[in-house]
Amino acid sequence: MRPTRRSASSEPRGQKRPGASRAPAAAASAPGNTRAPRPAGQAGGRSRAAKQRPRPSSPRAQEAGPGEPPPEPALPPPPIPATPTSSVATLDLGDQRERWETFQKRQRLTFEGAAKLLLDTFEYQGLVKHTGGCHCGAVRFEVWASADLHIFDCNCSVCKKKQNRHFIVPASRFKLLKGAESITTYTFNTHKAQHTFCKRCGVQSFYTPRSNPGGFGIAPHCLDEGTVRSMVIEEFNGSDWEKAMKEHKTIKNMSKE
């Protein structure tokens, strides 16, 4: 009797091991048994050759040569840090969260409003918030300054005609609340001073002085009542402006923080 020759499909390649028993040929050709039995030592797992076969999971893996392991997968990009926002929900307030939320509710303030109140209280210690504006109400502003105001009474050609008495503050302490579209500006001579006034009623409630172009000159008579405790008036010889500026010791720095 001739021994039955095994076909190439009945047994996986490269699986012959010394001493391994072969399955009967009848089992490979029996009806209904289409899969060849696994060689000894391979039950429950794939062959070593199959494990070493690279998977073409990416173009770089497909370019790998025979028997070469696939390249390591690229690391994911680092996470982008979250951008801070003005919402209290995104801030780590720790043990102060409950106090902060209670403070907001008690004061009936938004997050921004509560922060502004605390900043104003800390940043402007010793100052009060004055409010004011023009006659018709089109222009309104607020300014942080002392309750005891130091007023300059200038006698230059324009200030003398319009009785421009004013106190000076840094620009950071002044805020225009409304009326930017209602303001017009007059300049002359060096054009450094910006004489701003309401287009409707003609009142100058504030302006940018030549002596302090980085600040504002505020008209005390245009402030609302209730926040001014006292006023000291100093005459300034604006008719001889250059000489007066050289001799004055403090006016140059009144718009600085």
Say which residues have a Cβ less than 8 Å from residue 238's Cβ, sequence separation at least 6.
Answer: 154, 155, 156, 159, 160, 244
Give the mean pLDDT of 199-203: 96
Closest CA to 193 of 249, 238, 140, 135: 238
Distance of alpha carbon 45 from the chain centroid: 56
Token pair 């902060």 in the structure block, residue: 100
Q: What is the DSSP string of 211-225?
A: S-TTEEEE-GGGBPT
According to DSSP, the β-strands at 195-198 and 140-145 are unpaired
Which stretch of 15-29, 109-123, 203-217 has the lowest confidence by average pLDDT?
15-29
Give the mean pLDDT of 82-89: 49
Radius of gyration for the alpha carbons in the chain, expressed in angstroms and rounded: 43
Does 241 have pLDDT greater than 80?
A: yes
User: Tokens at residue 223, please?
Assistant: 């402030």
Token pair 């409707």 in the structure block, residue: 200
Closest CA to 144 of 156, 153, 132, 136: 132
What residue spans define the domains of the chain?
Answer: 127-247
| Helix/strand/coil percentages in the chain, nearest 5 | 30, 20, 50
Contact 215, 171 (CB under 8 A): yes
Strand partners, 69: none
For the chain, report the end-to-end CA distance as a whole number of angstroms. Answer: 113
Question: How many Å apart are CA 179 and CA 139, to the nearest integer?
Answer: 4
Most confident of 69-73, 133-137, 162-166, 188-192: 133-137
Give the dihedral sign, CA 57/61/62/68. Answer: negative
Say which residues have a Cβ less than 8 Å from residue 109's Cβ, sequence separation at least 6.
Answer: 103, 117
**pLDDT tens per residue, range 15-64:** 444 444 444 444 444 444 445 555 544 444 454 444 555 555 544 445 44
What's the mean per-residue pLDDT of the chain?
77
- Is the CATH number 2.40.420.20 carried by domain 127-247? no
**pLDDT tens per residue, range 117-150:** 888 778 788 899 999 999 999 999 999 999 999 9
Does 165 have pLDDT greater than 80?
A: yes
Contact 193, 103 (CB under 8 A): no
Question: How many Å apart are CA 197 and CA 203, to the nearest integer?
Answer: 5
pLDDT for res 234 = 94
What is the band of 180 on the pLDDT scale with cuts at 50, 70, 90? very high
pTM: predicted TM-score of the whole model, two decimal places: 0.57
Closest CA to 236 of 247, 220, 224: 247
